[in-house]
Structure 1
Amino acid sequence: MIRFDRVTKRFGDQTVLDALDLSVHPRKHVTLIGPSGSGKTTILRLLMTLLRPEEGTIRVGDSYLTHEERNGGLVPAGEKHIRAVRRNIGMVFQHFHLFPHMSVERNLTEAPVHVLGLSRDEARERARELLELVGLGDRADARPGQLSGGQQQRVAIARALAMRPKVLLLDEVTSALDPELVAGVLDLLRDIARSTDVTLVCVTHEMGFARDISDCVMMFDEGKVIEYGPPDKIFGAPEHDRTREFLSAVR
């Protein structure tokens, strides 16, 4: 579903990702762990085309993300191509980024109507189903400012799912929440992971959550994957000294 081939990303003189090779198979749940600044969130931002790589290629499904095949070679992709590929990807950010002037329901229906071409009725029906899924079926007419932080993050998750993505990216989705709200959001994401066939790529410092939902955990350090494997191996018997040091610090 996702493939990075020799992807390099720099910010000035700093190399954040260094010739990264990475694969995520369809319907699998992959969690990226590692210290701050190791390149984890950069991967998500590249997939959302909020950043562009200096070198290498990224594929989503059968298509290149920031390149197009033309005359037997690869050229930088145009915006139309990028939008079409990116349509398969949803993202939930650390902060909710809801439209404050719109109702909860309209936050969920605007993109499906204008991007996917759904009718208002179809988008509204989908929004109501998703709000029930995230436990907010009675808050469709509320404004985001009338909701708690945990409720707003649930709306943000529902909004991402409203686009029917094949890939869902989760970027530290509980880091902006008060501690008492974290468990409810993580429980919701566990339910989504178990009940849908969406491919998940998650950046988190919640190690218990990572262990619960992941098919594969990747440990990052200085822009490279230094160790990966099933959660029982990474959390129970890590091979790399840096992985052991990191896990000891966050537990």
Structure 2
Amino acid sequence: MIRFDRVTKRFGDTTVLDDLCFSVAPGRHVTLIGPSGSGKTTILRLLMTLLRPDAGTISVDGALLTHERRGGSLVPAGEKHTREVRKKIGMVFQQFNLFPHMRVLRNITEAPMHVLGLDRGDAEERARELLDLVGLGEKCDAYPTQLSGGQQQRVAIARALAMRPRVLLLDEVTSALDPELVAGVLDVLRDIAHTTDITMVCVTHEMNFARDISDEILMFDAGRVIESGPPERIFSEPEHERTREFLSAVL
């Protein structure tokens, strides 16, 4: 479902991703762990085309994301091509990024109507189903400022799912929440992980959550995957010294 093939990303003289290769199979849940600055969030930003790689290619569901073939050559993708591939990807950010002037229901229906072309009735029906899924069925007519941070993040999750993505990206989705609100958001994401076939790529410092939802853990350091495997092994018997150091600091 996702393939990074020798991807390099630099910011000035700093190489954030260094000839990175990894893939995620359809329906799998992969969590990226590692110290700050190791390249984890850059991967999500590349998948959302908020950034473009300096070298290498990225594929989603068999289609190149930031490149396309023209006349037998590989060239930077046009906006139309990138937009079509990006439709398969949803993302939940650290900050909720809800439209403050729109009620909750419209926050969720806006993109499906304008990007996917759904009519209002179908979009609203889907939005109400998703709000029920995240435990906010009674908040359709509320404005974001009338919700707690945890409730706003659950609306953001529903908004991402409304686009029917094949891939869901989660970027430290609880880092902006007060501690007492974290559990509710993580419970919603656990339910999604366990009851849908959406491919998930997660960046988190919530190691118990990573253990619960992940099929595979990728440990990053200095822009490379230094160790990968099922959570039971990574958390119990890590092989790399850098992984052991990192986990001893966060567990």
Q: Deviations over 1:59-108 (max 9, x none)?
A: 00111000011222211100000000000000000000000000000000
- Deviations along 1:203-239, one digit per CA (max 9) or x if unpaired, are 0000000000000000000000000000001001000
CA distance in 1, matches of 2:189, 2:157: 9
Following superposition, the deviation at residue 117 of structure 1 comes to: 0.3
Between the aligned partners of 1:73 and 1:196, the Cα distance in structure 2 is 37
Q: TM-score, normalised by structure 2?
A: 1.00
> Where does 1:100-119 land on structure 2 (aligned, <5 Å)?
100-119=100-119
Q: Report the Cα distance in structure 1 between the residues aligned to 2:187 and 2:208, rounded to whole angstroms.
A: 11
Residue in structure 2 matched with residue 222 of structure 1 by the alignment: 222
Q: Equivalent residues in 2 for 1:147-226 (5 A)?
A: 147-226=147-226
Q: Which amino acid aligns with 2:204?
A: T
**SS of 1:135's equivalent?**
coil
Q: Could you say what the CA RMSD is over the residues aligned between the two structures, in angstroms?
A: 0.4
Letter of the 2:111 partner, please give it.
A
Aligned residue pair count: 251
- TM-score under structure 1 normalisation? 1.00
* Greater shift in the superposed pair: 64-73 or 213-222: 64-73
Paired with 1:7 and 1:127, the residues of 2 have a C-alpha distance of: 36
TM-fit CA distance, 1:243: 0.2
1:40 is aligned to 40
Q: Identity of aligned pairs, percent? A: 78
Gaps of 5+ in 1: none
Can you give the 5+ residue segments of structure 2 that lack an aligned partner in the other structure?
none
Distance 1:191 1:73 in 2: 43
Q: Which residue of 1 aligns with 2:238?
A: 238
Task: Indicate the residue corresponding to 2:80 in structure 1.
Answer: 80
CA distance in 2, matches of 1:241, 1:75: 40
Counterparts of 1:118 and 1:16, CA distance in 2? 39
Aligned-residue offset at 1:24: 0.4
User: What are the superposed Cα offsets for residues 116-174 of structure 1, whole Å, 9 maximum, x if unpaired?
Assistant: 00000000000000000000000000000000000000000000000000000000000
Structure 2 residue matching 1:44: 3-state secondary structure:
helix
Question: Can you list the C-alpha shifts for 1:12-69, whole angstroms capped at 9, x where unaligned?
Answer: 0000000000100000000000000000000000000000000000000111000011
- The whole-number CA distance in structure 2 between the counterparts of 1:4 and 1:133 is 32
SS at match of 1:165: coil
Q: Which residue of 2 aligns with 1:94?
A: 94
Distance 1:127 1:216 in 2: 31
Could you tell me how far apart the structure 1 residues matched to 2:190 and 2:244 are?
Answer: 25
Corresponding residue of 1:10: 10
Deviating beyond 6 angstroms after TM superposition, the runs of 4 or more aligned structure 1 residues are none
Residue number in structure 2 paired with 1:55: 55
